[in-house]
Structure 1
Amino acid sequence: MKAVTMNALRPGDQLANPIIDAYGRVLLQKDVIFTEKLIKRLKDFDFRYVYIEDSLSEDIAPQNIINERLRVEAISKIRQTFKVFDEYDHQKHKQYMLERSMNEVQSTVNEIIDVVKSHDEILSIMSDIFMFDDYLYNHSVNVTVYTLVLARELHFSDRQIEEIGIGAMLHDIGKMKVPKTIIDKPGKLTDMEFEVVKEHTTYGYDILKQFKNIPQSVAYCAYQHHERLDGSGYPLGLKEPNIHEYAKIMAVSDVFDAVTSNRVYRNAFLPHEGLEILYSGSDTQYSPKYINLFRRHISIYPNGSYVALSDGRKGIIVRQTKVPDRPVIRILEEQDHEIHASQVYDLDLTKHLSLVITDCNTTPS
């Protein structure tokens, strides 16, 4: 199968993977044949890519470190917990509902931790970018998975991994206190509106620090994930020595997922562009140690995506190697001409170091 953009999708193309929404509902079943009306419908819902069946890439499969069941369950638990905090005050007779929600979050985090620990391969993210439509909760899951992968590679203790996992899952809980009209505003925020959005870090901290069974470090994840090494972040403008390590790790995961996700006010950046954004702030806003770790363990050119090489050749990512930015590519075009099916071949970029990927998802129309 291969990933194609909405502009490259054509009537008659066949869906290779079911499309699932954030509630676990199947929007489109596998093997559906696309029509012009169906393609327009997906565009209206701001889908960016779909996987379609293709004879030259039928052996290619996307990588998902967590399956659909676990992702949908995690989104459900986050949604439920956020709403419990939003709808209920903190009187003692309602405390049990909050405690129960926190226990469910902890249980879900531990399930994700088990999956992350059992998978040593490169983490691929593309298939999750466009299958789920509830940004806030899906973003929280993505940040949790990215953060846990980094924590694993940093050889954190089991206690630390659980703490940072819970912190990642709840890092944006304060956004429940920000007016939805501001969160969902399609245009640029005014200075005053941005000041309101920035308050979500303080709201989140105030919520989480009330729980005696939640470590202070978890609350700091909500409080400091927008702080930057040079002091340019918020809410306190802390500099590198005073920012909690969990928050510095989470900043990398948070920014990458935010810029590579569709938002109401802009289209998503491609994964390699998201990494470039992180590197542009390396050592000033984000820790180069954690950016480099992210690059080594998160695939920025996922299986099934269409790429262009520096020598003009184009093809589909077949599989990952030990070097995330040097995958194996099935070459389909040379010198702007399609190769005959019988002459298609695979190229391992780890064996051709003079070649680099110059563009991603340049799917032929």
Structure 2
Amino acid sequence: MAFVSVSEVKPGHKIVNDVHTSFGSLLFPKGKVLLPRDIEILHAFLIHEIEIEDGTNEDIEKTIGLGSSRSSVRLKQPADKSAVTAQKSSLIRLHDEYDKMILLMKSAFQSVIASELSIYELRNQLESLISYIQHYNILTFTPRVINEYDYIYHNAVLSSLTSYKIAGWIGLPQKDWIQVAFAGLLHDIGNTKIDPAILYKPSALTAEEIEEMRRHTTYGYQLLKNVTAINEGVRLAALQHHEKVDGTGYPLNLEGNKIHVFAKIVSVADIFHAMTLKKAYRKAQSPYLVLEQIHSEAFGKLDPSIVQTFISKVTQFYNGTIVRLSNDQIGEIVFSDRSHPTRPMVSINGNIINLVQDRHIYIEEIITK
């Protein structure tokens, strides 16, 4: 074993001890066999020396596909064609069920004032949609057709799917997941009682209009008060999803321990989709920038444990994910520091950009996983 300057490290060397970044995060675990790109990462993190096993291991080099030239890494074999076809088919079905859910939500929201909510029909379609939840990726899923004036329905359905996932991630009993999905689906149903001229107004609202918009929370609770097949958590999510844990939210200025967990979950999902969906008066924002804003909101506004879990789960992409940056460059994620999950290291034509250091650049969209 010997300490070696990173400038002298070669592909195929095995690390003896864990290598950490200057922030204390684990960069590479002990026992890792270094690839050419790993050496680029060591340089990017300004690591000066590491401890490696003595000598060169020819078997290791062959295993990782370096060969005598040490210049290339063996590419992954293409996935089984039948598996790829099945995955594409399931994704198409997810979109089909999503589109059906949007149409049903339009009908339900347009008729709820005059008649009872078709809750059992909504539940059947919601269950059909959720049967494909494993193919729903929060950061990458994009509806096939988005009419900007249908924002309220897309936000509802996306918030439903995302809330369902968050419920599982934070450890709620599985029997509650469908009710949390209902909470996401119906949290903005009170908007059906808001004047469309206010709801879709492209310019800034007046103080009176803001007050009217805020009433959608109480309107929602009233509309759901006598609906069967949903529990009180669903009703309270409609009422409380704009409450903040520091007591600065509305309509009741509740503090964290008085806000129902369903409302806390829906609040995170609603904010994410409200900012990443295109509206009539505002373009969609980068999901990674939105995650950073949600992270900042966790300090005093949103439930910090839910936010931390949400961000950690949705940013768990494997190295090799292809992304487009805000400067329109296409690159590949080569390292993700869990201390900065929204700002991984991205390789572009052999040059590594550390988004933690280059704060003016961010991930605009994920192209492939």
**TM-score, normalised with respect to structure 1:** 0.65
The aligned counterpart of 1:107 is: 124
The aligned counterpart of 1:306 is: 324
Structure 2: distance between partners of 1:214 and 1:308: 42
The aligned counterpart of 2:37 is: none
Of residues 230, 234, 254, the one that matches 2:250 is: 234
> Sequence identity, in percent?
26
Q: Structure 1 residue 353: deviation in Å?
A: 10
Q: Which amino acid aligns with 1:243?
A: I
Q: Structure 1 residue 143: deviation in Å?
A: 0.7
The aligned counterpart of 1:343 is: none
Of residues 69, 87, 94, the one that matches 1:67 is: 94
**1:164-243 to 2 correspondences below 5 Å:** 164-243=180-259
Structure 2: distance between partners of 1:240 and 1:354: 31
Of residues 103, 127, 138, the one that matches 1:76 is: 103
Kept after mapping to 2: 8 A contact 1:75/1:141? yes
Q: Structure 1 residue 140: deviation in Å?
A: 0.7
Q: Structure 1 residue 315: deviation in Å?
A: 2.4
Tell me if 1:316 matches 2:331. yes
Kept after mapping to 2: 8 A contact 1:256/1:274? yes
Q: Structure 1 residue 174: deviation in Å?
A: 0.7
Structure 1: distance between partners of 2:329 and 2:107: 44
Q: Structure 1 residue 230: deviation in Å?
A: 1.0
Change (3 A) 1:331 1:170: same
Structure 2: distance between partners of 1:236 and 1:166: 22
Kept after mapping to 2: 8 A contact 1:260/1:274? yes
Name the structure, 1 or 2, with higher relative contact order (CA <8 Å, separation 6+): 1
**1:41-190 to 2 correspondences below 5 Å:** 67-86=94-113, 88-89=114-115, 95=116, 98=117, 101-116=118-133, 118=134, 123-128=137-142, 131-133=145-147, 134-190=150-206
Kept after mapping to 1: 8 A contact 2:188/2:217? yes
SS in 2 for 1:316: strand
Q: Structure 1 residue 362: deviation in Å?
A: 9.1
Structure 2: distance between partners of 1:138 and 1:185: 18
Summarize deviations over 1:265-313 as a string: whole Å, max 9, x none. 333321122112212221311011111111122249996541269xxx9
Q: Structure 1 residue 197: deviation in Å?
A: 0.5
Q: Which amino acid aligns with 1:69?
A: D
Q: Structure 1 residue 321: deviation in Å?
A: 8.1
Summarize deviations over 1:99-158 as a string: whole Å, max 9, x none. xx2112112222333333x45xx9343441784222010111111111111111123223
Tell me if 1:272 matches 2:288. yes
Report the aligned-residue RMSD.
Answer: 3.8
Q: Structure 1 residue 253: deviation in Å?
A: 0.8
Change (3 A) 1:328 1:144: farther
Structure 1, unaligned stretches of length 5 or more? 1-58, 90-94, 335-346
Q: Structure 1 residue 260: deviation in Å?
A: 1.7
Structure 1: distance between partners of 2:324 and 2:192: 38
Structure 2: distance between partners of 1:332 and 1:65: 33
Structure 2, unaligned stretches of length 5 or more? 1-78, 80-86
Summarize deviations over 1:163-184 as a string: whole Å, max 9, x none. 1111110111110100000011
Change (3 A) 1:65 1:208: farther
Summarize deviations over 1:212-254 as a string: whole Å, max 9, x none. 4321111111111111111111111111111001101111111
Q: Which amino acid aligns with 1:114?
A: S
SS in 2 for 1:125: coil
Kept after mapping to 1: 8 A contact 2:246/2:300? yes
Q: Structure 1 residue 70: deviation in Å?
A: 1.5
Structure 1: distance between partners of 2:305 and 2:268: 10
Kept after mapping to 2: 8 A contact 1:124/1:300? no
Structure 1: distance between partners of 2:97 and 2:221: 27
The higher radius of gyration belongs to 2
Of residues 239, 243, 249, the one that matches 2:265 is: 249
The count of residues paired between Structure 1 and Structure 2 equals: 275
Change (3 A) 1:221 1:199: same
**TM-score, normalised with respect to structure 2:** 0.64
Structure 2: distance between partners of 1:234 and 1:354: 35
The aligned counterpart of 1:282 is: 298
Q: Structure 1 residue 329: deviation in Å?
A: 5.1
Structure 2: distance between partners of 1:331 and 1:80: 47
